[in-house]
Amino acid sequence: MKALVAAVAVWGRTAPSHSITAVMITDDQRTIVTGSQEGQICLWDLSSDLQISSKEILFGHTASVTCLAKARE
């Protein structure tokens, strides 16, 4: 069994800037994925009443994220 390792990003009063350069929505239409000029990828929950809330922010790219694509199993 694989262990789940969760990472937590902590910042001050304001979140890091996220200038969106790419947008994708999952097939189930419950998650929006955005890529940013700053190299981050963000996952957003989309509720059935179209309310959006942040889920995760992924750091690590050293260049802008200009394209997002779905992967298949």
- Rounded average pLDDT over 7-13: 65
Q: 53-59 contacts: CB < 8 A, separation 24 or more? A: 55/31, 57/9, 57/15, 57/16, 57/18, 59/9
Distance CA(48)–CA(45), nearest Å, equals 10
**What is the reported pTM?**
0.73
pLDDT tens digits, 22-58: 999 999 999 999 999 989 999 999 888 888 888 888 8
